Each structure stands twice: as C-alpha cells, then as structure tokens.
Amino acid sequence: MKIVILKFGGTSVGSIERIKNVAKIINAYHKKRYKLIVVSSAMSGVTNDLISKSKQISDNFSSSEYDVLVSTGEQVACSLIAARLIHLGLKSRSWLSWQIPIMTTSLHKNAKINAIYKRKILNYLKKGGIPIVTGFQGVNENERVTTIGRGGSDASAIMLAKFFKAERCVIYTDVEGVYTTDPNKLKKAKKIKVISYEEMLEMASLGAKVMQPVSIQDARLNRIDIEVKSTFTKKSGTLITKRSNIINNKIITGISLTQNDSKISLIGVKDKPGVAASIFKPLSKNLVNVDMVVQNISANGKETDLTFTIKTEDLNKTKKIIQSNKNIKFRKLILKKNVSKISVIGVGMITTPGVTFRMFQTLANKKINIQVISTSEIKISVLIDKRDTKKALIALHKEFKLHNKR
C-alpha cells in the first residue's frame, strides 16, 4: 500500500476558498491512486483567537482545559476539508486524535507522541477512504486531550509517516520551499531543491520559519523524507532528506539571520569552578534561552569576562536575575540591544578549508565588525550590529555564489 501523508498549514486552509483549493490538491493525489492520510492545522488566526479567549477567562487558565480549547481549531478545519471531499464525490471523514488514537505523554501544552494505533485508519484506507486527521493534538493515558506544542501539526504528520511507513510526507505551506535566505529580505534568494536534515535544522534554529526545529529533528531521527511545497502554486518544492542522498557542489547551502537579539557581557567575573553554571542555572529556570557564549580568562587566571546572547524580550528579566544572583561576583554588567546574528550553513564546509576566512574577510571588506563568533561542524555564526545586517547578507550571499541558479 503506497501511503502518502499530506499536511496543510494554517494559511493553506485560511478561508473557505483555500479549503476548496486544498480539496482539489488532495483529489489530484487520489487520481494517481495513492492512499492518502491528510493532516490539517487550524485555519490561520483561529488558534490565536482561542488563546486570547483563554486569557480573558483567567490569567491562570487550566492547562488541561487549554488543550481541549485550542485543539478545536483543527477539528473545524478537518471537518470542512472532509465535507468538501465528500462534495466532490470522494469517501472521506475527519478523525480526531482520540478516535485513532494518537497516544502522547501526559504533559499538557507540549506533549510528545508515543504511539499511533493504525488498525482503524488502515481499514478505512483499504475501503477507499481519505482520513483527515487533526494535527497538533493527541490523547494521554488519562484520556485527556493533549497538544503537541509549536509546529505540532508538522510533528503529527511526520509521526504518522513513521508509524504508517509512508512513501512520502508533503508539507504544504504558503512558501514554495526552503530558500538560500529569507526572500523577503533579499530578492536574489534562490529556492533550494534538496537540503539535508542537518542543514535544515540549523537554518530553522537560526531563524528560517518554514518548519519548527523539533519537527525536523523528528524527521531526521526517523529518516522521514519531507517535501515542502506551496499550496498556491504547482511549482516543485524543497526535499529535506539525509545527507547521503544529496549530490551538491555547493559549499554553503544557505544563510540565516535573526534580528531580535541582545548581548550580555559580565566583566571581571571571579573565576572559580562552577561559575558559568551559577550564571546560567537561574536563567534556565526562568526559561531564558541563552544562545552564543564566549568566555575569556584573564592572564592571571583569577577573572573571566563572559559574553552571551539572548532574545531582546528577555533582556529586562535577565538583567534582574543576574543582579539578584548572590552566587556570582563581577565588576561590570554591559547590556547591548540592536545586534543581529548572521549564520552561513552548509555540509560542504566540513571538507572545504577557508570558509571561515572567506566569511570574515567578506565582512571586513564591508567594514562590518564581528562582536561574537560561534561555530559548529556545518555552521558559522557571527554577531554584528543590527544596522549592518542587510549589507552583510548581500555580501555573503554573493561571496558564496548563492544567487546563482541552483
């Protein structure tokens, strides 16, 4: 049985006309005799509206009732898609997570899928049906509805592909695929035909908004190939797959950037074992995500300067946490807003020397100062002044020839 998973995002089902268009896409796959499992997000804006209602009811809204509430958005979208397919003469019905069931951990708001029971869906497929499954949700051992957190519908589709051993998993969204950089920021950005899980994971974690990092990691761990396509055009998309499937002469695959970062520097920290843990433990407890970290030890070995980056919205909270931390001593605290992180990503840099030099020299030629550097096997990130972001993006995109046809 050739099973294909089709997942449609919120913008894809954002109106009645768009839902009718989704039904046409599903019908086109049906005519090719694929067995289809369709996963849908809520119509765009619906989940945010439900969250807003929960806040109006209580600033301490029950997490279990929160999941029941926000999961209804997917129920509406799935019912509308199924009804449109029935209108077109196809056999279809909506399936809520508890009807399959899709079993998750007990954690509300951020559950993980543990198991998917296949019998009912397989029987329905054998009878020629097209199941429309609610994404973003499951049910726990207490028979309570759970939600899977940000990117939950993508995660639902990927796990369905795993359990049903699907031939393909196609994520339909409002963009044509993954680009060398954000096409809204650089018109010369090119669509990438094939990208590795590792490169996509780096790009997503560094600002690319096509998919959430957790969903890409699920696909990587389970070796699920993902095709990202636009619901609104018939053009080919981007295939996300394992590294060994890619024949690519590009050293750098893409450039990501973030523009809502702030830099924290603690000068003259009394150096002793565990001092870094003493700084970052209270930040972690208060859900402050720390990114780039650089530490410099003084010549006498008694002091250290420690610099790290956070999201700007966490700046005031971070300042208060550090200033109230009795376990650390330092001479000066420096806070700097209006910085941006720009990263070049590519598996080609593993076997190609000189990428770091080329990146740094390109920025130097444009008189762009590098404030912090962070690297991994397939990524180099630098922190620069926010006003230099566009200039840096254009220069690096050109240096690594990403504007050429791919």
pLDDT tens profile 126-171: 999 999 999 999 999 999 999 998 778 999 999 999 999 999 999 9
Angle at 294 between CA 290 and CA 298, to 5 degrees: 135
Over residues 67-95, the pLDDT tens digits come to: 999 999 999 999 999 999 999 999 999 99
Give mean pLDDT, residues 250-255.
Answer: 91
Q: Which of 84, 105, 107 has the alpha carbon at shortest distance from 94? A: 84
Share above pLDDT 70 across residues of the chain, in percent, rounded to a whole number: 98
Least confident of 77-81, 124-128, 205-209, 276-280: 205-209
- Beta strand spans in 35-125 (E): 35-40, 92-95, 102-104, 113-116
What is the tally of structural domains in the chain? Answer: 1
Q: Does a structural domain hold residue 258?
A: no
Q: Does a structural domain hold residue 161?
A: yes
112, with CB counted inside 10 A (0-12, 13-18, 19+), is middle
Q: Is the pLDDT of residue 282 over 60?
A: yes
Task: Determine the 3-state secondary structure of 379 from DSSP.
Answer: strand
Range of the domain at 136: 3-174
Are 269 and 328 within 8 A, CB to CB? yes
Longest dimension (CA), the chain: 79
Q: How confident is the model at residue 355 (pLDDT cuts 50, 70, 90)?
A: very high
The answer for residues whose C-beta is within 8 angstroms of residue 291's C-beta and 6 or more apart is: 261, 308, 309, 310, 341, 374
Q: How confident is the model at residue 231 (pLDDT cuts 50, 70, 90)?
A: very high
Q: How confident is the model at residue 396 (pLDDT cuts 50, 70, 90)?
A: very high
pLDDT reported for residue 248 = 67
pLDDT reported for residue 302 = 82
Provide the residue type at 378 as one letter: I
Q: Does a structural domain hold residue 399?
A: no
Share above pLDDT 90 across residues of the chain, in percent, rounded to a whole number: 79
pLDDT reported for residue 158 = 95
pLDDT reported for residue 297 = 81
Q: Does a structural domain hold residue 364?
A: no
Q: How confident is the model at residue 405 (pLDDT cuts 50, 70, 90)?
A: low
The torsion region of residue 149 among left (phi > 0), alpha (psi -120 to 50) and beta comes to left
Least confident of 105-114, 202-211, 254-263: 202-211
pLDDT reported for residue 249 = 66
- Rounded to whole angstroms, the Cα distance separating 301 from 275 reads 13
- Rounded to whole angstroms, the Cα distance separating 155 from 5 reads 12
Least confident of 127-141, 244-258, 313-327: 244-258
pTM, 2 dp: 0.83
The CATH number for 92's domain is 3.40.1160.10
pLDDT reported for residue 204 = 83
Are 136 and 101 within 8 A, CB to CB? no
Least confident of 132-146, 197-211, 297-311: 197-211
Give kind and range of the element (H or E) at residue 73. helix 72-87
Give mean pLDDT, residues 309-322.
Answer: 95
pLDDT reported for residue 20 = 98
Q: Does a structural domain hold residue 10?
A: yes
Q: How confident is the model at residue 323 (pLDDT cuts 50, 70, 90)?
A: very high
- Rounded to whole angstroms, the Cα distance separating 182 from 403 reads 12
Give mean pLDDT, residues 380-402.
Answer: 95
382, with CB counted inside 10 A (0-12, 13-18, 19+), is buried
Q: Is the pLDDT of residue 296 over 90?
A: no
Q: Does a structural domain hold residue 259?
A: no
Mean pLDDT of the chain: 93
In sequence order, what are the beta bridge partners of 95?
A: 133
Provide the residue type at 44 as one letter: S
pLDDT reported for residue 93 = 98
Q: Residue 393 has which token pair?
A: 């993006």
Give mean pLDDT, residues 365-393.
Answer: 94
Q: Does a structural domain hold residue 103?
A: yes
Q: What is the CA radius of gyration of the chain?
A: 24
Q: Residue 156 has which token pair?
A: 């639902």
Q: Does a structural domain hold residue 11?
A: yes
Q: Which of 138, 144, 178, 177 has the alpha carbon at shortest distance from 160? A: 138
